[in-house]
Amino acid sequence: MSVPVPHTAMVLAAGLGTRMRPLTDATPKPLLKVRGKALIDRLLDPLAEAGVRRIVVNVHYLADQVEAHVKARTDVEVIISDERGEVLETGGGLAKARSLLGDDPIYVLNTDAFWGPESPAPFRELAEAFDPAAEDERLLIAATDRALGFDGAGDFFLETNNRLIRRGSAPSAPWAYAGVRIMKPQLYDGAPVERFSALKIWDGLIPNGRLAGHVLDRFWLHVGDPKALADAEMWVACHGG
Q: Is the link from the previous residue into 30 a cis peptide, with omega within 30 of 0? A: no
pTM equals 0.94
Question: 46 lies in a domain?
Answer: yes
Average of per-residue pLDDT values in the chain: 95
CB atoms within 10 A of CB 237: 11
Question: 3 lies in a domain?
Answer: no
Q: Which structural domain range is residue 28 located in?
A: 8-239
CATH code, domain with 112: 3.90.550.10
Contacts of 194 (CB under 8 A, 6+ apart): 88, 92, 95
In the chain, DSSP assigns E strands to 8-12, 33-34, 37-38, 54-59, 77-82, 106-109, 113-116, 137-143, 147-148, 156-158, 164-166, 175-183, 211-215, 219-222
pLDDT tier at 17 (50, 70, 90 boundaries)? confident
Question: 1 lies in a domain?
Answer: no
Q: Could you report the per-residue pLDDT of 160-206, keeping only the tens digit for each?
A: 899 999 999 999 999 999 999 999 999 999 999 999 999 999 999 99
Q: Could you report the per-residue pLDDT of 67-116, keeping only the tens digit for each?
A: 999 999 999 999 999 999 888 999 999 999 999 999 999 999 999 999 99
Question: 141 lies in a domain?
Answer: yes
Q: Could you report the per-residue pLDDT of 131-164, keeping only the tens digit for each?
A: 999 999 999 999 999 999 998 899 999 998 999 9
Question: 160 lies in a domain?
Answer: yes
Question: 105 lies in a domain?
Answer: yes
What confidence score (pLDDT) does residue 148 get?
A: 94
What confidence score (pLDDT) does residue 241 get?
A: 66
Cβ atoms of 162 and 213 within 8 Å: the answer is: yes
Residue 132 burial class via C-beta count within 10 angstroms: exposed 0-12, middle 13-18, buried 19 and up: middle
The structural domain count of the chain equals 1
| Distance in angstroms (rounded) separating the CA atoms of residues 33 and 235 | 13
Question: 19 lies in a domain?
Answer: yes
Q: Could you report the per-residue pLDDT of 31-75, keeping only the tens digit for each?
A: 999 999 999 999 999 999 999 999 999 999 999 999 999 999 999
What confidence score (pLDDT) does residue 23 get?
A: 87
Question: 2 lies in a domain?
Answer: no
Q: Are strands 156-158 and 164-166 parallel, antiparallel or unpaired?
A: antiparallel
Residue 157 burial class via C-beta count within 10 angstroms: exposed 0-12, middle 13-18, buried 19 and up: middle
Rounded to 5 degrees, what are φ and ψ at 102? 75, -165
pLDDT tier at 239 (50, 70, 90 boundaries)? confident
